Amino acid sequence: MKTYSNIILPSLFMLLLWGCVKPFNPEGIEIIDNMYVIEGDIIQNDTTRVTVSRSISVNDESKINYISGALVWVESETGTKYTAKQVSSGETITYVINTVGINPNLKYRLHVNIGQRKYVSALLPVLQAPPVGSVGYNVDTVKQSVTFHVSSNDPSGNTRYYRWFFTEDWEFHAQFQAFFEYIPATDEVIPIPESKNRYYCWGKGRSSSILVASTTGLTEDRVHEKPLVSMGSGDRRISYLYSMELNQMAISEEAFKYWDNIQKNSDQLGGIFSPQPSEMDGNIICITNKSEKVIGYISAGIVSKKRIFARGEDIGIYKYPNNCDVEFVNMDNPMNFHSLWERGLEVTTYTGHPPFGESYWASRYCVDCRLQGTKNKPAFWPNNHI
């Protein structure tokens, strides 16, 4: 054997385009749609809200296909029925059942009849959720993001499987406060009364991730800082005042597995070592056609709630977008108000039309918060902004 010396020289490697991700649109997919999807938990200390919808094609970008006219009721193991009332708000159709104060020692099941099709859930015990321990947040200054998290524990050790969902409200304000308003029809500038300000607005939303946790492998029935939602520095929710009302439920092991599987199928695939996706059956079946696929897992319980507020300046990562178009109009820059308005600008401060007065103009979306929110202030909001 000869003596070898092997030197592999790094070539002028253009490694910038190393791996890549591009859209994948397979052809010839046989779409399975129009499966019924039944969602809603039987809640002993709150209203039970059930939605019935149908699955849609993956490429269908339309909204949720809600089903109206279904007969929905909760039935206890002793046969008592609590019937639902259909409530429409916007496009959403909800079946609302007053289940407050039902006997928590009985088991319940959900019935849904859609025309001739009858669906029924398993018989479910009412599980008592422990109180929510605390909801807090961690700020990652490197990534410029904030993550809200929940910590809870059940000293009795009976809960073990948790599920959370939340509603959120936030107050934000426009980047610039407009004290005046331009009326294009008359080319007038009139003051805006504070009661009609376009500066303070509110938004609302709800959790969109599946939030479940298990404490089975732990010595205590304790959840520590389970992440709920993350927001980046451009997220308006943390610009001024953010509020979250967290609902905590105790769920069964089967329910946990079901939710966990949906979450894995939706969020964890695509990595190099990701598991193969698979579908899991829920606990609701079609009794008129046993082979019909129906999606949904119903739980029953007593929820615990906690509301928190977080101030944008405490979180400290929010940055206003740097994309306002601004104009200062005076005798040196005597621009036509109407053309500024047509350009998408609104007046914020005004002392008069040029040449004698001065005015400051900025892009509408930097001035009018209603473009990103509403003036619907939640009743519980802790300040006096209008």
Among 208, 322, 323, 384, binds another protein (CB under 8 A): 208
Per the DSSP assignment, residues forming a β-bridge with 243 are 169, 309
Per CB under 8 A, 11 contacts another protein: yes
Per CB under 8 A, 270 contacts another protein: yes
Candidate ranges 5-13, 109-117, 240-248, 298-306; the one touching another protein (CB under 8 A)? 5-13
Indicate the residue among 255 and 345 with the shorter CB distance to another protein.
Answer: 255
Among 24, 105, 141, 339, binds another protein (CB under 8 A): 24
Closest to 154 (Cα-Cα) out of 191, 173, 129:
129
- How far apart are the C-alpha atoms of 366 and 108, rounded to whole Å? 51
Among 21, 91, 185, 356, binds another protein (CB under 8 A): 21
Per CB under 8 A, 89 contacts another protein: no
Among 77, 187, 194, 279, binds another protein (CB under 8 A): 279
Within 305-364, which residues bind another protein (CB under 8 A)? none
Does residue 348 contact residue 177 with C-beta atoms inside 8 Å? Answer: yes
Does residue 51 contact residue 40 with C-beta atoms inside 8 Å? Answer: yes
User: In this structure, what DSSP letter does residue 136 have?
Assistant: E
Candidate ranges 259-267, 311-319, 331-339, 351-359; the one touching another protein (CB under 8 A)? 259-267
Site mask, another protein, residues 219-248, x = CB under 8 A? xx-x-xx-----------------------
**Side-chain half-sphere CA neighbours of 150 within 13 A:** 27
Candidate ranges 179-187, 191-199, 233-241, 258-266; the one touching another protein (CB under 8 A)? 258-266
Per CB under 8 A, 277 contacts another protein: yes
Within 136-175, which residues bind another protein (CB under 8 A)? 165
What are the CA-CA distances from residue 96 to residues 55, 67, 167, 301 (Å)? 21, 14, 18, 16
Among 87, 100, 183, 269, binds another protein (CB under 8 A): 269
Show contacts of 131-137: CB within 8 Å, 24+ apart: 131/248, 131/304, 131/306, 132/246, 132/248, 132/304, 132/305, 132/306, 133/223, 134/306, 135/228, 135/244, 135/246, 135/306, 135/308, 136/225, 136/308, 137/310, 137/315
Minimum CB separation of residue 267 from another protein in Å reads: 9
As a whole number of Å, the end-to-end CA separation of the chain is 88
Pairing type for strands 85-89 and 81-83 reads unpaired
Candidate ranges 14-22, 172-180, 196-204, 363-371; the one touching another protein (CB under 8 A)? 14-22
Among 105, 186, 278, 339, binds another protein (CB under 8 A): 278
With b for 16 or more beta-carbon neighbours within 10 A and e for fewer, the 186-202 pattern comes to eeebeeeeeeebbbbbb
Minimum CB separation of residue 251 from another protein in Å reads: 12
- How far apart are the C-alpha atoms of 161 and 140, rounded to whole Å? 28
Closest to 118 (Cα-Cα) out of 289, 283, 282, 281:
289
Within 295-314, which residues bind another protein (CB under 8 A)? 295-296
Does residue 303 contact residue 43 with C-beta atoms inside 8 Å? Answer: yes
Per CB under 8 A, 123 contacts another protein: no
Per CB under 8 A, 10 contacts another protein: yes
Indicate the residue among 254 and 358 with the shorter CB distance to another protein.
Answer: 254
Total residues at interface with another protein (CB under 8 A): 81
Site mask, another protein, residues 39-78, x = CB under 8 A? x-----------x-xxxxxxxxxxxx--------------
Indicate the residue among 213 and 335 with the shorter CB distance to another protein.
Answer: 213
